[in-house]
């Protein structure tokens, strides 16, 4: 009797398994998408909610530090649940690609509205927004007529007057990598040494901290992303708005290569299970509706030229920006970091 019981039990298990396969959707066909985002939840969830409203695709969002999310994808390997990576800076997107963590965005997803310099040449990622990194100065202490280029920040007149983040910051690494591409490594290293010599203090804090340091008189000039200044100018806190409004933006290098820019971007994970949903998300994020939301709500420049800037961004002025491929900037990240270290940029 015992062998017969075992046989019937195995048959029952097989039948139940077949039923479960029929009634339980697989990850590949589930109407959902799993996103790893380096963007703060408050800065991305509202637009993802709009995506769900339009498509009925459920979004499972995991937020975290950009580098930590890339490391997580690597450690999870083929078992990773992530379908899409949303992160900041082309350097990180290029790194994820080089680590084999992303895949080609299918041709069914049109990227024609995005300038080719803001898209990986192999279509492993595309920009969603642009951020400029200009010079910001104290209105009451700096005559903008004395400003010109990033290279000129090494002049003696700026001795002890400049605040900027550390060399560990990806924004500074990408800015330096862009200079290596455009000026050459030797000239860029001389620039970095001259910039370090003019620091008002050892690098500390984020971009908002550099802006606050200018307002507090700790330095007269900061290099920071416009995205942060826009957020401070639109803050609900009056003291924060006052700090931001005490600082003005100067667009360097307008007579030659233009100001440095970088991006936030999106890539499809190598082992994405919900590929169709990932394609739908990218298409939505490049739509006029989503791009308008980024511009008006997040203080970022749209990558679709037809979309209008927010009034806060317009008030900072128009500008010419660098036109080098950002994939190249990402590839030179390691060289930039070594150069900054040699220059004494802590």
Query: Which residues belong to the annotated binding site for Fe cation?
Result: 227-228
Give the SS3 label for residue 309.
coil
Q: Where are the alpha helices (DSSP H) in the chain?
A: 2-23, 41-55, 66-76, 90-98, 170-183, 185-197, 207-215, 226-233, 238-245, 275-285, 288-297, 311-316, 326-331, 333-342
Pairing of strands 135-138, 221-223: antiparallel
């203080």: which residue's tokens? 299
Tokens standing for residue 316:
């900072």
CA–CA distance, 238 with 75 (Å, rounded to integer): 44
Pairing of strands 32-37, 58-63: parallel
Q: What residues form the annotated binding site? A: 227-228
CA–CA distance, 328 with 119 (Å, rounded to integer): 11
CA–CA distance, 288 with 285 (Å, rounded to integer): 8
Tokens standing for residue 63:
């937020």
Q: What is the DSSP string of 107-164?
A: TTS--TTS-GGGB-TTSS-EEEEEEE--EEEETTT--GGG---SGGGGSGGGTT-EE-
């Amino acid at each position: 009797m015992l062998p017969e019981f075992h046989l019937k039990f195995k048959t029952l298990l097989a039948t139940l398994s077949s039923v479960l396969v029929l009634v339980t959707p697989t990850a590949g066909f589930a109407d959902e998408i799993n996103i790893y985002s380096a963007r703060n939840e408050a800065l991305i969830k509202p637009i993802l909610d709009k995506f769900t409203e339009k498509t009925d695709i459920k979004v499972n969002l995991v937020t975290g530090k950009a580098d930590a999310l890339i490391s997580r994808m690597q450690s999870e390997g083929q078992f990773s649940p992530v379908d899409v990576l949303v992160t900041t800076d082309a350097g990180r997107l290029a790194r994820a690609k080089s680590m084999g963590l992303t895949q080609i965005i299918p041709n069914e997803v049109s990227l024609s509205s995005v300038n080719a310099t803001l898209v990986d040449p192999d279509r492993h990622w595309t920009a969603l927004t642009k951020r400029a990194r200009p010079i910001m100065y104290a209105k009451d202490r700096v005559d903008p007529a004395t400003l010109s280029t990033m290279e000129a920040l090494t002049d003696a007149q700026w001795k002890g007057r400049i605040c900027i983040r550390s060399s560990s910051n990806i924004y500074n690494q990408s800015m330096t990598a862009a200079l290596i591409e455009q000026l050459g490594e030797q000239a860029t290293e001389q620039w970095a040494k001259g910039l370090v010599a003019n620091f008002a203090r050892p690098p500390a804090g984020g971009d908002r901290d550099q802006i606050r340091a200018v307002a507090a008189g700790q330095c007269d000039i900061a290099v920071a992303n416009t995205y942060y200044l826009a957020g401070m100018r639109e803050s609900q806190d009056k003291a924060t708005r006052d700090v931001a409004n005490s600082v003005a933006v100067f667009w360097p290098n307008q007579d030659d290569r233009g100001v440095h820019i970088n991006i936030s971007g999106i890539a499809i994970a190598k082992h994405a299970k919900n590929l169709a949903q990932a394609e739908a998300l990218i298409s939505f994020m490049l739509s006029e509706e989503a791009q308008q939301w980024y511009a008006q709500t997040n203080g970022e420049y749209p990558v679709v030229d037809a979309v209008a800037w927010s009034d806060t961004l317009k008030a900072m002025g128009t500008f010419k920006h660098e036109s080098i491929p950002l994939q190249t900037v990402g590839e030179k990240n390691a060289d930039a970091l070594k150069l900054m270290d040699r220059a004494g940029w802590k």
